[in-house]
Amino acid sequence: MSKNFSHLDHNNQPIMIDVSDKDITIREATAECTVILPDVVKAALDDGEIWSAKGPVVQTAIIAGVMAAKKTSELIPFCHPITLESCKINIYSTEENNLTVRCICRLHAKTGVEMEALTGASIAGLTVYDMCKALSHDIQITNTRLIQKTGGKSDITTNSRAKP
């Protein structure tokens, strides 16, 4: 079966998908990224939090991620403007003392929230980088991916390690 890009019309011109005939359903998406910390930043981790001159890193990253998820349609051209009903970001230390950023977005709508969850996780990870770069520029943000989406035409669960 051949798949086509959904955001191109029959003339290969970019379009926003018409969702006017779709049903409103409960939509939820979970995305995450990994922030790989160099040893100097790992040493600054104190019970899962890092305090920088700019403030509490994890708490600030959570706030930034939620703000970004709400602005996804302003950042990605063909995302529909939606009103999130829930956006939760959890940042936790891995066994290697790196950070996993997980974003879960939920709403009742005609379109999904995958891009909002991906944006929330990404911006939270970038905020960790911004706040810790004074210690090292060797921080890496990796493995940004959709973990799960429910609602709409199909539910998707990707291959991922399970953490809270």
| Bridging pattern class, strands 51-52 and 55-56 | antiparallel
Instruction: Return the SS3 of 82.
Output: coil
**Which of the residues 23, 130, 138, 155 is marked catalytic?**
130
Q: Yes or no: say if 124 and 103 are a contact pair by the CB < 8 Å rule.
A: yes
Our answer to whether residue 21 is catalytic in this structure is no
* CA angle 112–117–122, rounded 5-degree value: 145
Which neighbouring-strand residues pair with 52? 55
- Helical (H) or strand (E) element with 42: helix 39-42
Comparing CA positions, the residue from 32, 35, 18 lying closest to residue 114 is 32
**Positions marked active-site:** 130
